[in-house]
A and B are shown apart, each in its own frame.
Chain A
Amino acid sequence: MKKNLYILPILFSILLFVQCTEEITDNSIIPNATCTDGIQNGDETGLDCGGSNCAPCEDAIGGIDFSGTYMQEDQVGRPAVSIVYITPGLRDAYNTTIPSELTANFQQDMQANLLLHHPAYSTNILGQDATAFSTLLSKDVLWVGQSGITTFYDGTNILTGRRLQDDVMDFHLLLLYGGADVNNPLNDGTNGQPLLIRDGVSENDKPFLANFPYLASPF
Chain B
Amino acid sequence: MMNKTKLTFAIAFLGMLITAPFLLAGDHFDAPAVSGTSSDLSSFYAFEGANTNNLVLVANLQGLLPSGVPTQIAQFDEDVLVEFNIDTTGDLIEDLVIQATKRGDTMYFFGPVVPISTGLQSEIATFATQSKVAISSGTTDAEAIVATNNGMQFFAGARDDAFFFDLNRFNAIVSGEVTGFNEVGEDTFAGTNTLSIVVELPKSMLGTGAIGINPNAPTTPIYSIWVETKRKQ
Which residues does A use to contact B, with CB under 8 Å? 45, 50-52, 54, 56-57, 60-61, 64, 66-77, 79-80, 82-83, 87-88, 91-92, 94-96, 98-100, 102, 113, 116-117, 119, 126, 139-151, 157-164, 167, 169, 187, 189, 194-196, 198-206, 208-219
Contacts and interface: CB of A to CB of B under 8 A. Distances in A.
B39 to A, nearest CB: 4
Contact of A98 (B49, B120, B131, B223): B120
B198 A147 contact: no
A148 B30 contact: no
Given A142-B225, A145-B220, A204 B162 contact: yes
Interface in B170-185: 170, 173, 179-185
Contact of B187 (A119, A187, A201): A201
B123 interface: yes
B205 to A, nearest CB: 12
Interface of B: 3-6, 8-9, 12, 28-34, 37, 39-41, 43-50, 55-56, 58-59, 66-68, 70, 80-81, 85, 87, 91-93, 101, 103, 108, 110, 118-124, 126-132, 139-141, 143-144, 146, 153, 155, 157-160, 162-166, 169-170, 173, 179-187, 189-193, 196, 198, 200, 203, 206, 208-209, 213-217, 220-233
Contacts of B80: 73
B130 to A, nearest CB: 4
Interface centre among A100, A117, A145 (most CB of B within 10 A): A145
Contact of A141 (B43, B47, B225): B225
